[in-house]
Structure 1
Amino acid sequence: MCGIIGILGRGPVAEQLVDSLKRLEYRGYDSAGVATLEGDHLDRRRAEGKLKNLEARLREAPLKGHTGIGHTRWATHGKPTEGNAHPHATDNVAVVHNGIIENFRELRQRLEKGGAKFTSETDTEVIAHLVNSYLIKGASPQEAVKAALPQLRGAFALAFVFRNHGDLLIGARRGSPLAIGYGKGEMYLGSDAIALAPFTDTISYLDDGDWVVLTRETGVIYDAQNAAVNREVLKSGASSFLVDKANYRHFMAKEIHEQPEVVGHTLARYVDMATERVSLPQKLPFDFKNIQRISITACGTASYAGYIAKYWFERLARVPVELDVASEFRYREPPLHKNDLAIFISQSGETADTLAALRYAKSHGLHTLSVVNVPTSTIARESETVLPTLAGPEIGVASTKAFTCQLMVLAALSVAAGKARGALSDADETKLVHALIEIPRLMASALATEPQVEKLARDLSKCTDVLYLGRGTSYPLALEGALKLKEISYIHAEGYAAGELKHGPIALIDEKMPVVVIAPYDQVFEKTVSNMQEVAARGGQIILMTDAKGAAEATIQSLVTIVLPDMGAIFAPMVYAVPVQLLAYHTAVVMGTDVDQPRNLAKSVTVE
């Protein structure tokens, strides 16, 4: 969600703060600001909209302080105006905040009765006034934060600077991520390692409930009970990634094109290429033979990766799978059986609902396994087993390469499960692993459809509604395709199981309705062709994504047929995801939307 940076520097920090905020743009934001401390004076610069507006403000009125905090805000309370932009401040303290303070109204009423004057609509401003209420009574900054934190209800990450305390930066987290960066005579706070990468590769992650007091030479971490604790100091690899667009117009385009490489890297972690056997990066603390049921939980695109994996586990390992979106799972309170397996999927590893679902499963004695792109994230740290993807930083808000890397991990895991349960023979495993090894090459071939897809996008951009259809593993991919189009082009789209067409959606079909049909030539292809005939009979404009044999057998006039490389159908979603993503991307480009940071969306949803 929001991005946080804090710096105790040896020189002016405003430019460094803005540079770090640029690295956090992928989280999504609608305003930005910085505050620095110069002598005994706290000063702020804030701006609505993109960081270029904040940079313009700083050129007009520079900040020279050596201590500062910065923030990119995604509006939750109050409109995305300059007045609601962070940092929020009193004469004595400035704060930036990622999260939601659920009890801000009662806190605000109490503080206003005590004389506090509020200038914004945000929940964050109550934090500044609450801490200030203790400062004006004579409390030290550490004492004031210590007294304020227990009164805040909700999820948050916070960074504070204080007037007359140029060598002090305080941070706290509950639910939302926050990391410490260690430098030489400098210290940092940031939402993630990417934000800190320009300054240091030595970091610590605060555990849930922790708060930290930093000076330029030291950092003291306290847990939720205010006891001093040590947290592991890690070497971050974030600085080794080039977080730029390279030769691409948007990060999303770059990340779509990176998929053959990063999916290949992920594949190499999970498969022994020489023996064509699955080789998981760590020994599992359970035996798949003893697993009676698998529960898969995730949000958004990750949930569709889980939906595809449901087909794989049930078909290859003959184990029943229950799939939930995390926001429903956590409140549905389903009955769970001790020692079964719960799988959690999250690109960031910080998704609030998924984390809550993980904790629920752990409390019921399930084995917990997470598939995440950030192995030092909260979900990873709290899981019994972590299977990381190797997608690298994904900057575009709409997930692309993280999705396909998740699928590669889940495919390898489903094969391992099938082998362990005796549902697959050695020959079966070899055949399936060989199919996985081909995926990066096939994805590269799928990228060759881009000129055809780009041309198609010009027509699709003129439509107001689109249907996506698929059967088997192509059904969840149809859901994902519809989501992608909605996310970045703002065109209404829906995904359906093709067999459901006659149960309602067929009423929408007319000559203005494009219907994207995802249909590799497989055991249900003929059934899908019959659905296409129903669409054609009503004048619907069919966009068919299939292979050469499917194109030859379809015998139905389509608006466009996108021919993908021949391959076994079971792992086809990883390859067919490429034109599905490209179609959404190029449609959004034609529409002129903000592809990398679509409106109202955030990369990592760290609050409900």
Structure 2
Amino acid sequence: MCGIVGCVLNKKAAPTIIDSIKKLEYRGYDSIGIATVTDTINLKKGSGKINEVDSEINLKDIDGNIGIAHVRWATHGNPTKENAHPHCDCKNNISVVHNGIIENYKELRQELIKEGHIFKSDTDTEVIPHLIEKYMMEGQDFLTSVQTTIKRLVGSYALAIISKDNPHEIIGVRNESPLIVGVGENGNYLASDVPAILNETNKVIYLEDKEIIILKQDNVQIMDFDLNPIKKEITTITWNSEMAEKGGFEHFMLKEIYEEPQVIKDTLSESKKIQEIVQKFKKFNRICFVACGTSYHASLIGEYLIESQIGIPTEVILASEFEYFNKTLDDHTLVIFITQSGETADTIKALKVAKEKSETLAIVNVVGSSITREADHVIYTRAGPEISVAATKTYLSQLICIYLLVAHMGENQELLHKLDEISDLSEELLTHEEQIKEIAKKYKFAKDFFYIGRGFNYPTALEGALKLKEITYIHGEGYPAGELKHGPLALIDDNIPVVGILPPGPSYNKTYNNLQEIRARGADIIILGASNDTQIDDVEDKILFNPIIDEIIAPLLYIIDLQLLSYYISIEKNIDPDKPKNLAKSVTVE
């Protein structure tokens, strides 16, 4: 939920640190701060997005070859300059940046205040530099003081810590929040995520929970919380920093939507690996998906697919609610975890619980992330870096993995054949852009939107509504089409836009009739359907697909136009779709 960068270099650190932290602004953007070490701790920070703060105080104009920085997504304390990281001790000898939540900070804060420590913020993080100060004043060295401090912390934390008295090193700590190490020619790096350091190095070490690192310009030492040395492998990242740039598009979100045809092709190339995983499965009598947000909607489509195509009872559980279901697990249950980042705190916690009883499979976008190291089996989505907070191409690649998994588990050659045709069909959808722009202009002032679909396309309605809420701030709701008469129809009124997902197939007639009921009550209808559908000739706003896509495959393609619709409504409302308020890309705290 926040982004951390640190580096120890053979040159001035601030320009590199600020360029790197900009790559993590999608993780949090209500404040920014940087601290470096010379003969003192040099500190600059402010409230607002990076460019806003930089234009006021010139964040790169700060001396020192070693430094740390942070972009914040507020949890404890309002998004003010005082609450921005880094935070220091009483004498400004120690500076800390932190991603996570310290659950026992109130008790620690009261203890430290009684001992004479003075706090300047409302954050949970500030207890950390004061604790380190306390133990250093008692005679412990820098590393031992950090060790003693973290053993008193309850919660999740990724930390980068610098000290005026240790001007050649950063101490990093990981516990239930992501932190990686970059090994480079000009020095070494810490970061919350790989994109931050790809301009400097593609050599990465993934830290595990309860690990400490001492980062120096020419050396990296990793140890456990008892300070026992740990040997770690260096991973070479195969995608470069250019893949995380806008490439001529106005926003990352639009760029990432346009990358979806290629993402579909890349993820379909995982078919053989998925088949090999399926061949290792034992016989399951139950399948359980665990996910959050957009990944939850992908999982719902997985539930429809598995039960209709294979006949195995399946359910989808929100990761944050999983602890209430763990007694239902056994060794004949397959638990599938879906997450873009592989660092979602709720999902990681659920995986650790599930592993005790059941076989686990992770569908993840980020190679080397925490969940990939915990699960029994891993399928990579091959979406590449996704910077916009709203998930687009990662959602589609998750769906492709689910469809491939179901096709191989059910030995369904017909479904595999349909998937082979999908990437070319997806390019045809991007030809609807100008039409979607006009629909966006028409409905930009709407206060409510409804999305309806049946069967495989009900989760698409949910995902379409979520995209609208995330980046336009318009209230949107997705419903099964047949549920309208059980309550929601009371909300339908004149001029309320209703998006109907209407592909050909067994559900067509019932969904069509539901749309007519809505239309009779004065709502505006926007239909996604087939180009040969003559029944909807009199509907003004419709997006039609040719070649014809049947309803089992429609979730893979119709969602692209719903993403574009939300994107262009956000543009019409002058909202930055890449950085929606109150949201962050990776939710790394519970």
- Same topology, TM > 0.5: yes
- Equivalent position SS for 1:12: coil
* Distance in 2 between residues matched to 1:349 and 1:60, nearest whole Å: 31
**Change over 3 Å in CA distance of 1:238–1:95 after alignment to 2:** farther
1:204 match: secondary structure: strand
In structure 2, the partner of 1:600 is: 582
2:506 to 523, 530, 552: 523
CA deviations 1:273-302 (Å, max 9, x no partner) are xxxxxx5274447435x1111000100000
Amino acid at match of 2:383: A
Please give the alpha-carbon distance, in whole angstroms, between the structure 2 residues aligned to 1:517 and 1:136.
Answer: 66
Structure 1 counterpart of 2:439, from 442, 451, 456: 456
* TM-score normalised according to structure 2 size: 0.97
In the TM superposition, what is the alpha-carbon distance from 1:339 to its structure 2 partner?
Answer: 3.3
Contact 1:471–1:498, Cα closer than 8 Å, also in 2: yes
**2:144 partner SS:** helix
Which residue pairs with 2:344 in the alignment?
A: 351
Tell me the distance in 1 between the aligned counterparts of 2:586 and 2:64: 31
SS class of match (1:380): helix
Mapped contact 2:307–2:313 kept (Cα < 8 A): yes
CA 1:333 to 1:490, structure 2 compared with 1: closer, same or farther past 3 Å? same
Is the 1:519–1:525 Cα contact (8 Å) retained in structure 2? yes
1:408 to 381, 400, 414: 400
CA deviation vs aligned residue, 1:409-457 (integer Å, no higher than 9, x gap): 11000001112xxxx4xxxx1x222210111111111111111111101
Distance 2:158 2:59 in 1: 30
Tell me the residue number matched to 2:362: 370
- What is the letter of the counterpart of residue 461 of structure 2? A
Deviations 1:478-511 (A, max 9, x none): 0000000000000001000000000001001111
**Alpha-carbon distance between aligned partners in 2 of 1:487 and 1:13, rounded to the nearest angstrom:** 35
User: Are 2:472 and 2:575, in contact at CA under 8 Å, matched by a contact in 1?
Assistant: yes
Structure 1, 124-133 or 559-568: larger mean CA deviation: 559-568
Check if 1:55 corresponds to 2:38. no
Following superposition, the deviation at residue 103 of structure 1 comes to 0.7
Q: Please point out which of 511, 515, 537 is paired with 2:520.
A: 537
CA contact (8 A) 2:14 2:60 kept: no
The answer (yes or no) to whether the contact 1:37–1:65 under 8 Å persists in 2 is yes
Partner of 1:28: 28
Aligned positions of 1:268-347 closer than 5 A: 268-270=269-271, 280=274, 282-284=276-278, 286-287=280-281, 290-347=283-340
> Aligned ranges for residues 93-242 of structure 1 at < 5 Å?
93-184=94-185, 186-239=187-240, 241-242=242-243
Q: 1:132: Cα distance to partner?
A: 1.1
Deviations 1:356-388 (A, max 9, x none): 111111011x11000000120001110000000
412, 419, 426: which one aligns with 1:436? 419
Equivalence for 1:87: 86
8 Å CA contact retained: 1:291, 1:341: yes
Q: Structure 2 CA distance, aligned partners of 1:22 and 1:62?
A: 16
Q: Does 1:253 align with 2:233?
A: no
CA deviation after TM superposition for structure 1 residue 246, in Å = 1.3
Aligned counterparts of 1:302 and 1:334: Cα–Cα separation in 2: 23
The Cα offsets for residues 278-329 of structure 1, whole Å up to 9 and x where unpaired, read as x5274447435x1111000100000100001111111222211111111111
* Map of 1:560 onto structure 2: 541
Counterpart residue type for residue 395 of structure 1: I
> What residue is the counterpart of 1:490 in the other structure?
473
The 8 Å contact of residues 43 and 63 in structure 1, kept in 2 or not, is answered as yes
Deviation at 1:239, TM superposition (A): 2.6
Aligned with residue 552 of structure 2, among 544, 560, 570: 570
With over 3 angstroms needed to count, the CA separation of the structure-2 counterparts of 1:287 and 1:62, relative to structure 1, is closer
1:270, distance to aligned residue in structure 2 (A): 1.3
2:147–2:225 CA contact under 8 A, matched in 1: no
**SS at the partner of 1:280?**
helix
| Paired residue secondary structure (1:448) | helix
Q: Is the 8 A contact 1:286 1:367 kept in 2?
A: no
Counterpart CA distance in 2 for 1:391 and 1:456 is 28
Q: TM-score by structure 1 length?
A: 0.94
3-state DSSP class of the match of 1:229?
A: coil
Structure 2 unmatched runs, 5+? none
Deviations 1:206-233 (A, max 9, x none): 1111111122222221123432211221
**CA drift at 1:512:** 2.2
Sequence identity, in percent? 42
> Which residue is 2:13 aligned to?
13
Equivalent residue number for residue 274 of structure 1: none
User: Could you tell me which amino acid in structure 1 is paired with residue 465 of structure 2?
Assistant: A
Distance in 2 separating the partners of 1:360 and 1:9: 41
User: Would you say the 8 A contact 2:199–2:241 is kept in 1?
Assistant: no
How many positions carry a matched residue from both structures?
587
Q: 3-state SS of the aligned residue for 1:473? A: helix
Instruction: Name the aligned partner's letter for residue 109 of structure 1.
Output: Q
Q: Distance in 2 between matches of 1:4 and 1:502?
A: 49
The equivalent residue for 1:588 is 570
1-structure distance, mates of 2:186, 2:341: 30
Aligned match of 1:44: 43
Q: Pick closer, same or farther for the CA change 1:4–1:60 going to 2, 3 Å.
A: closer
CA displacement 1:88-129 (0-9 Å, x = unmatched) = 112221000001111111110001111110001111111111
Q: 2:74 maps to what in 1?
A: 75
Q: Secondary structure at the match of 2:455?
A: coil
Q: SS where residue 528 of structure 1 aligns?
A: helix
Letter matched to residue 440 of structure 1: S
Larger CA deviation: 166-175 vs 24-33: 24-33
Structure 1 contact 28–397 (Cα < 8 Å) conserved: no
Pairwise CA RMSD: 1.5
Change (3 A) 1:60 1:439: closer
Greater alpha carbon shift after TM alignment, 220-229 vs 395-404: 220-229
Question: Does the CA-based 8 Å contact 2:243-2:385 persist in structure 1?
Answer: no
Q: Distance in 1 between matches of 2:275 and 2:513?
A: 44
Deviations 1:6-60 (A, max 9, x none): 010111111111000111122232110100001x200111021111133234538
Shift of residue 61, structure 1, vs aligned partner:
8.4
* 2:495 corresponding residue in structure 1: 512
Following the alignment from structure 2 to structure 1, what is the Cα–Cα distance between the partners of residues 93 and 313?
58
Report the CA distance shift for 1:376/1:282 in structure 2 as closer, same or farther (over 3 A): farther
Distance 1:298 1:568, change over 3 A: same
Q: Which blocks of at least 5 consecutive residues in structure 1 are unaligned?
A: 272-278
Q: 1:405 to 1:101 in 2, by over 3 A?
A: same
For residues 363 and 486 of structure 1, the distance between their equivalents in structure 2, rounded to whole angstroms, comes to 37
User: Equivalent residue for 2:390?
Assistant: 398
Report if aligned partners of 1:435, 1:568 keep a CA contact under 8 Å in 2. no
CA contact (8 A) 2:454 2:511 kept: yes
Report the AA paired with residue 49 of structure 2. Answer: K
Deviations 1:160-208 (A, max 9, x none): 0100212111000111110111123611111121112111111111111
8 Å contact from structure 1 (residues 182, 188) kept in 2 = yes
